[in-house]
Amino acid sequence: MKKVLKALQIKNINNGVSTGVDSWAGSGKVLSSYSPVDGELIGKVRQATKDDYEKVITKAEEAYKIWREVPAPKRGEIVRQMGEALRANKDNLGRLVSYEMGKSLQEGWGEVQEMIDICDFAVGLSRQLYGLSMHSERLQHRMYEQWHPLGIVGIISAFNFPVAVWSWNAMLAWVCGDVCVWKPSEKTPLSAIACQHIIQAVLRNNNVPEGISGLIVGDREVGEWLSNDTRVPLVSATGSTRMGKAVGQAVAGRLGRSLLELGGNNAIIVTENADLQIVIPAVVFGAVGTAGQRCTTTRRLILHENIYEDVKNRLVKIYSQLRIGDPLDTNNHVGPLIDTDAVNNYQTAIEKVKAEGGNILFGNEVLSGEAYQSGCYVKPTIVEVTTQTPMVCHETFAPILYLIKYSTLDEAIALQNGVPQGLSSAIFTLNMREAEQFLSANGSDCGIANVNIGTSGAEIGGAFGGEKETGGGRESGSDSWKNYMRRQTNTINYSTQLPLAQGIKFDI
């Protein structure tokens, strides 16, 4: 890991304080990053003070005045170079993400690939920031709309995707002409620092202001500064529903914009017409990938009564064969939870659902021994429930899968929708009518609804986000770029008269 850190220009590891680049180095309390893989200290960084925050915002304001004037395709060219720089650093950055966050190495590399993909998407987008042309009701008038950048975009990201979700926002914001100030999770600061080194090198090579990309390491107080700052017109926040409600209220209180990507309590419906050969791997990956720490993790499995016992038995057998251990070892399927607090939440959730009548089919164990010395490794758990109790309706960021039996598709969809969250959902069926019902207005109420693929693993080409307590935000593909710009309607009168709309007469 020392070679990886050196390659990513993160210095003074385990011996002093890594302060990164001068443009954002904090002067506050020291924050230590420990790996959930082995419990070892990876490095330290100084957090930002309010004075440090003000310096970053001031630099961002100055950079925005220059960046907004750069033609969008030229902004896209710089983002293209960022994608190339990420390609060159994919192996090392993926390893750091895996080690600092605890996800499998394949997922760490996949996260960096997601960053590369969004760069490619943003490059094309830089030539497609289209506005509409509309016919005016008035003679010799032309009416159209255009899109302008907003200014500073504040980005608050979570530990489970320590770099990818930031890139979803930043790359689109940059081609739209905005500048970004990033507050990464305090649980994964070094992955963010590595990204900042990569991006700043590209900015320097293109002789554009470093304030285009700001980074502020700190705790929730930094998020509160961003949320309450009128100089930051948009705050994009990814995390828990509790956090999102606080951000949303603060930003709304100053009539700013917020883009919220919050909790998920995602379900897969499996009908009696499903192909179980693809159901099982989809469910297992969705439930145990990233040790259940994805917002799109499969947490509920709603099974038709005719196939319930078959699927249940298959899952228990496969869960018993899962390899749990060091995520940098590609032979392992499941890595650790992020920290011991997450382990406590896992244990508490299982005890509560047992008290509510849940039957533990597999798991419910914190692993110990030399291979699990960090204390963050748990067995993925399967719980059989007869109804959606309060604990089933609650999102627990851990690998706990609830099995629920149903009789009719209407009943299954009602169960699917019967939780406060509305992010991702899926149905497995070879019956066209069942699939179409699930996708209809009377079907899934989630922002993502899939047929014959699982809840986890969204592509960057589609808008990502959900409804209800998931926050209603949309990031990444489709027309999500409009979140980062302001719409302006323009009417041009090229006649010699001044006709008023709606035929109004005003003679003077």
Q: What is the pTM of this model?
A: 0.96
For residue 197, give the nearest of 101, 301, 88 by alpha carbon: 88
Does 392 have pLDDT greater than 90? yes
Q: List residues bridging with 426 in a β-sheet.
A: 268, 450
The three state secondary structure string of 385-423 is: CCCCCCCCCCCCCCCEEEEEEECCHHHHHHHHHCCCEEC
Check whether 24 has a pLDDT greater than 70.
no
| DSSP type of residue 459 | -
Q: What is the pLDDT at residue 25?
A: 57
- What pLDDT shows up at residue 184? 97
In this prediction, residue 18 carries a pLDDT of: 40
- Give the domains, in start order, of the chain with CATH numbers: 51-262+471-488 (3.40.605.10), 266-460 (3.40.309.10)
| Percent of the chain whose predicted confidence (pLDDT) is above 70 | 97
- Contact predicate 267/406, CB 8 Å: no
Q: Is 261 a catalytic residue?
A: yes
Report pLDDT for 507: 85
- C-alpha closest to that of 424 among 259, 244, 242, 264: 264
Q: Which of 109, 94, 100, 95 is nearest to 36 (CA)?
A: 100
- Tell me the percentage of the chain whose pLDDT exceeds 90: 93
Residue 11: band (very low, low, confident or very high) from pLDDT cuts 50, 70, 90: low
Query: Comparing 252 with 3, which gets the higher pLDDT?
Result: 252
Alpha-carbon distances of 386 from 48, 255, 301, 358, 402, rounded to whole Å: 49, 44, 12, 8, 10
Mean pLDDT over residues 111-125, rounded? 98
Tokens 């080690």 locate to 99
* CA 210/CA 204 separation, integer angstroms: 7
Rg, the chain, Cα only: 24
Tell me what the pLDDT averaged over the chain comes to: 95
Please name the amino acid found at residue 483.
Answer: N
Nearest residue to 161 (alpha-carbon basis) of 204, 201, 114: 114
Region 162-184: what's the mean pLDDT? Answer: 98
Is the pLDDT at 457 greater than 90, yes or no?
no
Structure tokens at 116: 């590369």
Check residue 20 and give its pLDDT. Answer: 37
Pairing of strands 133-135, 179-183: unpaired
Q: Tell me if residue 235 falls in helix, strand or coil.
A: strand
pLDDT bin (cut points 50, 70, 90) of residue 13 is very low
- Helix, coil or strand: residue 303: strand
Q: Give mean pLDDT, residues 255-267.
A: 97
Q: What average pLDDT does this structure show over 289-309?
A: 98
Average confidence (pLDDT) over 364-375: 97
**DSSP designation for 370:** G
Give the model's pLDDT for residue 22: 37
Catalytic annotation, pick one of 261, 384, 469, 475: 261
